Amino acid sequence: MANIIDTHSHLADPKFDNDRHDVIRRAQEDGIVAMIAVADTLRSIDDVVDLARQYDVIYPTAGIHCHYAESTLDSDIEQLKNILHRTSDIVAVGETGIDLFYGKDTLVRQTQLFETHVKLSLEFGLPLVIHCRDAEQYILDILSRYPDATGVFHCFSGNDIFCRQVVDIGFYVSFSGIVTFKNAEQIRKAVLSAPVDKILVETDCPYLAPQGYRGNRNEPSYILKTVECIAETLQLPFEDVARKTTENARILFGIGR
């Protein structure tokens, strides 16, 4: 049986409201031994923390997504800080980052909010879950000012050169179902350029279902397809990729130690 950690799932998303319990049970039956439930708003932090209390295979994060940079108030940041103070089971700060695909007009606010998260991650000794879209250099520039920061670039979709840069500053790269897409040659090249001890896997469910499930709602069980694809790309046995990425996730998020 597989032994895999889904390092990025939005299990609190309303798309799971009707069958969340079944989705989580199916994942466990398929050998998904842990799932990081990622928050993207203040409200969703409460939801993922609640979920983690119901299921011992679920680990919550806390953060406010860059999509909400414009509407995030100072009082929201205070609240985020309070949550981090009083909730010891949170395993990461995020997701956070910069997304210029959605428009450059909010870059200043996104940058401020991201930097706030970086500082929080250092203050609380937690890794960052970074969302990076069309903003590679902006994010690397900010991180270069915080050499002690660590974490993961989630849903990695850059090329092999960016992948090396990410790994060189001590961060992990997490591959999602998009690595399985026919036209994802560039991402598979990035897989080849990453040291195996820096690779994580994720679904980013309910989004980004892998090849074979495209157009459907994604769920943690489908991560098997992603691990299969990475194993093929690296020409390693499936079990080795599963075991290694799980080990990496345990180290980064401090799970099961």
**Binding footprint of Zn ion on the chain (CB under 5 A):** 131
Query: Residue 237 Cβ, how far from Zn ion at the closest point, in Å?
Result: 29
Q: Which amino acid is at 134?
A: D
- Which residue's C-beta sits nearest to Zn ion? 131
CA–CA dist 138, 143 (Å, integer): 9
Q: Which CB sits closer to Zn ion, 117 or 131?
A: 131
Q: Are 253 and 92 in contact (CB under 8 A)?
A: yes
Q: Which CB sits closer to Zn ion, 150 or 206?
A: 206
Candidates 144, 151, 98; CA nearest to 122 is: 151
Q: Which CB sits closer to Zn ion, 129 or 224?
A: 129
Query: Residue 20 Cβ, how far from Zn ion at the closest point, in Å?
Result: 17
Query: Residue 113 Cβ, how far from Zn ion at the closest point, in Å?
Result: 14
Edge-to-edge strand ranges of the sheet holding 172-175: 4-9, 32-37, 58-62, 92-99, 128-133, 151-153, 172-175, 199-201
**Phi, psi (deg, nearest 5) at residue 99:** -130, 105
Query: Residue 65 Cβ, how far from Zn ion at the closest point, in Å?
Result: 7
Q: Which CB sits closer to Zn ion, 40 or 241?
A: 40
